[in-house]
Amino acid sequence: MKEKLLQEFQKVFGRAAEGVYFAPGRVNLIGEHTDYNGGHVFPCALTIGTYAAAAKNDDKTLRFYSMNFEKLGVIETSLENMVKVAEHNWANYPKGVLQVLMDAGYPVTSGMDILYFGNIPNSSGLSSSASIEVLTAYVARELFGFEVDFVEIAKLGQKAENEFIGVNCGIMDQFAIAMGKTEHAIFLDTADLSYEYAPIRLEDAKIVIACSNKKRGLGDSKYNERRSECEAALAKLQTVKSIASLGELTEAEFEEIKSVIADPIKEKRAKHAVYENQRTIQAVKALKENDIALFGQLMIQSHDSLRDDYEVTGKELDTLVASALKQEGVIGSRMTGAGFGGCTVSIVKNECVDAFIREVGKEYLETIGYAADFYVVEAGSGPCTL
């Protein structure tokens, strides 16, 4: 891969790259739509992700090129004119990161030529955008030689997405990618960013991701709407209980005061945030105790809540999960990511993986009319220089 990127960089920019870099994608095993509600999440970095070859240049010009979007050619802008431009498409993500780096006082002192290549399916819910964000910050750190730790890189990536791109996302995606550790998932409390690594010991099972191939864009989805619904519910609950986030409530505490929300839709949204947070805490405990069956049951409950209370699944994801749960050797299955398309994650016994992919793929194609893609994945590490 490194040689391929170096050759392509030479071809596109007519000179040699200074280095080749990588940042992973991520999958969230459980804890969905809790990260902006002060709850817990349990993601892991993947071994697939985004690569970049890069070199500084002598002026203030930024030149971006993606091997995944060759038809868009080289997208060019200036460090002195960093605004979101619709025609710049995917390149708005690295632009946003470089802008927040400069705003925070990090010395991005010249322009750069950067070539990207990703093997994460685009718009899949495996965080191709957060992968680009973390990677770009890492590339800038390496090329310009300034000090910035991986937690700060995650925060800057989130800030770029919130303020430059306009998606009100939580911290999970960028944190999981920046802080990834091989064969571990990250149990993260998004309220205070305290975290611990938990080994993923699945013994005789594998993590299988099914990509629905229904494209979605977070910015124009109902993602921001869900967040505002939760904020409105929280504001009502705060009139009767001193809490900073929905993540502070147990199920029993929520049930006791939920009537104050006085809006059935907002109550359902808040219920999901509270119950999903508690499920995530239970799931990590189950994994530590090697109770994979309970972990799988909690995954299924998570999907049901995302479908019924949060209403972010849709026909494609529901079809994938329903089909998965019919198959032999499936321990658990749920949608992962923001929803409205994207992916599911399933835990499948080793000897059943091939049949699972074949049968779920067949049913999905018959029901939806186009094919899903499947990936058997492992937990990988964070950004690195190749």
- Annotated catalytic sites, by residue? 173
Q: 173 near 198, Cβ under 8 Å?
A: no
Contact between 299 and 29 under an 8 Å Cβ cutoff? The reply is yes
Exposed e or buried b per residue across 173-191, where buried means at least 16 C-beta atoms within 10 angstroms of its C-beta: bbbbbbbbbeebbbbbbbb
| Assigned token pair, 366 | 């018959």
Measuring CA to CA, how many Å separate 349 from each of 15, 207, 360, 376? 48, 9, 15, 12
Q: How far is CA 377 from CA 106, 126, 129, 293, 386, in A?
A: 35, 12, 19, 20, 21
Neighbours of 1 (CB within 10 A): 11
**β-pairing, 384-385 with 205-211?**
unpaired
**Among residues 201, 211, 181, which one has the least CA distance to residue 375?**
211
Residue with tokens 């990590």, as numbered in its chain: 284
* Contact (CB, 8 A) for 282 and 298: yes
CA-CA distances (angstroms) from residue 375 to 158, 332, 383? Answer: 26, 16, 21
Exposure class string for 231-254: b at 16+ Cβ within 10 A, else e:
bebbebbeeeeeeebbbbbeeeeb
Q: What is the DSSP letter of 70?
A: G
Q: What are φ and ψ of residue 241, in 5° steps? A: -145, 140
The backbone torsions φ and ψ at residue 132, rounded to the nearest 5 degrees and listed phi first, read: -65, -40
